[in-house]
Structure formats: structure tokens, C-alpha cells
Amino acid sequence: MSDVHAAPCVFGADEQRDVEVDVPHWVRLARFVLEQERVPERFGPAAEMSLLFVDEETIADLNERFLGSSGPTDVLAFPLDEEPPPGGRQPDQGGRGPGSPTDPNDPPALLGDVVVCPVYARRQALARGVPVDEELALLVVHGVLHLLDYDHAEPEETTAMRRREQELLDRFRDLDAKG
């Protein structure tokens, strides 16, 4: 029997050479956000996402191809699964009963990809007068929240997303400080 509270899987990769990136640290942050957002309960314990750090040329290409915007940007999120898979027994679909964990043979819920450009983040950090790691942390949280349907198209959405970002960053810093 699988554990509904198992940590989601976050794949991390550093595909750039401009800024040193502590991939395991940022993977821990992404996993923390997923856990705080109750992803194992919503999507199942085998939920997966990837966190990629890329150069400006790569993110500019992605930005143009998928969003129709020119030039590099700081972070892009590409959600994959639109809806969480159904849980428990579904009428006429068999199943193991209400509230049963997902079958270990069920495919994982693919949440999507978060792509961060550390060079762009470094420039933003300098402009804001904050450490690069603080900017990268914000971008990782921001990207993961986008995978989970947070948005900032409307003022109230922006306020809610920024508030949640700050809550998550504060909690993670507290945990990180305690070791």
C-alpha cells in the first residue's frame, strides 16, 4: 500500500554555466512548496515535476515558442496535467473503494516543468539589492505555484499569490535555519 503522504518527486537539472546553482537546495524548496500545497493528497503520492536552470538563449527560445514573447525572462512554468486524477472508487471504473490510495501501478501525475534563468535572476537581484539566492528562491516558489494554478492576471490573484509566496519562503527559511 502506498503512502498518500509521500513526498512528490522533483527532478532538478542545471543546464547553464553562468551562475552557480545549488540544485539539491532548490529541489528541496520545490518539494516543500508541493507538500505545503497538499499535492500528495490532491494528485497522489507519485506526483512529479521538473525544475530546470537554463541560460538566457534557452529561456528566450522557450518564451518565444510557447508564450509568443521575445527575449529572455526570469521563470517559465509549463503545467502538464490539467486535472488531478480521480481518487478512490469511480462509478463503473472499478477501484478499491472510497478513500483508497492510488494503485501503485497508476502513472504519476505529471505536474509540469519550471524553468528558471539564473543569469536573469542575478540581474534582477542586483537591481532589487537582494542576494541572488533570495531571487532564485522567489522564482522557484513562483514557478511551482503557477503549476498549481496560481496566477497573477488580476489584482486579487496577484495579492493572493504574493502573500502565499512570502508565507512559503518564510517557512522554508525557518526550516532551513533549523537545519
DSSP symbol at 108 = P
CA distance 148 to 160: 13
Which residue is associated with the grid cell 512548496? 33
In single-letter form, the type of residue at position 159 comes to T
CA distance 126 to 76: 20
Asked whether 120 and 56 are in contact (CB, 8 A), the reply is yes
pLDDT in tens, 22-67: 999 999 999 999 999 999 888 887 899 999 999 999 999 999 999 9
Asked whether 116 and 143 are in contact (CB, 8 A), the reply is yes
Say what the pLDDT of residue 105 is. 58
Domain spans in the chain, listed from the N-terminal domain onward: 9-178
CA distance 29 to 43: 19
Say what the pLDDT of residue 87 is. 46
φ, ψ (nearest 5 deg) of residue 12 = -120, 145
pLDDT in tens, 76-113: 999 986 554 444 444 444 444 445 455 555 677 899 99
Residue 28, strand partner residues: none
Say what the pLDDT of residue 3 is. 47
Model-level pTM greater than 0.75?
A: yes
Lowest mean pLDDT, pick from 78-82, 128-132, 158-162, 164-168 = 78-82
Architecture of domain 9-178: 3-Layer(aba) Sandwich (3.40)
Say what the pLDDT of residue 7 is. 75
